[in-house]
Structure 1
Amino acid sequence: MIEEKDGEKTRHIAKPRQKYDEADRKKIEKRYKEKTLLVCGIGPDEFNRVSACESAKGIWDCLKTSHEGTKKVKESKIDMLTSLNEYFKMKEGETINEMFTKLSCITNELRNLGEPISMSKQVRKVLRILPKS
């Protein structure tokens, strides 16, 4: 991009390919690699969501919003998962393995949303909810 100042206005004009230097080529190559890495790591449904994005930052922001939601949605998810974790109990007839898998899903989702639960708290939780038998 070339910046042209016209009085107080600044407008960006695309630089013709003939005027690209080595630094321009490296920037273009880096941007292409960034986009390729992001696009190669997603499935077809997610690709349809981000296909219109022009930059790696745009793709990343779109994916982040679609998976985490907005800040308010993220906070609501954290509140809901924290509540599920606090009131989690082992159901009658449930095996320890099944119970631990369910609890792990909750703690993993919290960790992914930026609210990790320490391993010692997880262990204490499991020991508290185990049946006396």
Structure 2
Amino acid sequence: MAAPPIFQEGASLTRPPFFNGKYYGWWKNRMMNFIIAKNYDLWNVVMDGPIIPTKLGPKGRLELTPENKIALQNNAKAKNILICGLGPDEYNRISSCSTAKEIWDTLQTAHAGMSQMKKCKIDYLNRKYELFRMKDGETIQEMHSRFTSIINEMNSLGESLPSGKAVRKFFSVLPNSWESKVEAITEACDLDSEEENMELTTRMFQEMLSKGR
């Protein structure tokens, strides 16, 4: 469970921990402890929801028992704590929820589920990257396009690879006929260098691809 490197919001005994869409697992545990410390009955409402009549008679809320009213009040308190701990984007996500349980479940589905899906996708792309090979009948250009697509997908999920590592990986699966070209690039450029030399490497490689050499 990763924690943010620096945090200011929510470091208080009276103010709920703040959630801005990042580090959900860290926030979730802190919010749970915060609510329980306030009143354990509030945490029960978050987990199980308020137990109140779903249908009222002609007199409406006047028919509520004292126990119903306490349940509704605890739901309102728990909702208020959760809402006060959310940034604008997260509030928009739960604004239509009527109970504290609905808010909690919505956040759990959105962030815990999303994190698991993201991890599975990253694992899948890492396997594709590690097992990447040239297909039968595939041109160098097609192979390069397929490889670039994998790298771009990984980058979009925050799984960035060092440029030099990615270039070396691609070079390692090129056919033997490309050995002299690979040697020319590696001798001309330092694959472990920063942006300028890596840009030069990329330009040289793309030029070779375009010329089909």
- Name the TM tier (shorter chain): 0.3 to 0.5
Q: Which has the larger radius of gyration?
A: 2
- The TM-score normalised by the length of structure 2 is 0.33
- The TM-score normalised by the length of structure 1 is 0.46
Q: Which has the higher strand share?
A: 1
